[in-house]
Amino acid sequence: MAGTIKPMFVVFIAVALIMSGEAAIDCDNVVSYLNPCLPYVTGKGAMGECCNGVKGLYAAAKSTPDRQTVCKCLKSLYGSYSNVNMDKAAGLPDQCGVSIPYKISFSTDCSKVQ
């Protein structure tokens, strides 16, 4: 019995290490958190509940892979909406009192986000 516990423990640690490098957040999550911001960044409404979404997304993106995924999703989302005001979008973290480790921009290299 003791002989099988050690190999199982090693396998468990290996799986945990592999999984720790994967993002727990996907683009669907990003859309869900930031959906309340759409009226504001498209010039069709006020901030409303936007900051709650920004703060929730910031809290959910705990790891480097999570933050890189959020960065990639933001670039993709803002590229798919022609009427998004990038200045407003880039200013959301500051307006909501959140400090993110990169600038929201099409030119941001998401692979370098820590």
Residue 103: pLDDT band by 50, 70, 90 thresholds?
confident
The pLDDT value given to residue 23: 63
Per-residue pLDDT tens digits for 11-59: 333 333 333 445 688 999 999 999 999 999 999 999 999 999 999 999 9
pLDDT of residue 2: 53
pLDDT at 101 (0 to 100): 77
Confidence (pLDDT) at 106: 82
Q: What is the pTM of this model?
A: 0.74
Q: Please give the mean pLDDT across all residues of the chain.
A: 80
Any long-range contacts for 78-83 (C-beta under 8 Å, 24+ apart)?
78/104, 78/106, 79/106, 81/38, 81/42, 83/42, 83/43
The larger pLDDT score, comparing residue 32 to residue 100, is at: 32
The arithmetic mean of pLDDT across residues 77-84, rounded, is 78
Q: Record the tokens describing residue 53, joined without a space.
A: 């979404």
What domains are defined for the chain?
25-112 (1.10.110.10)
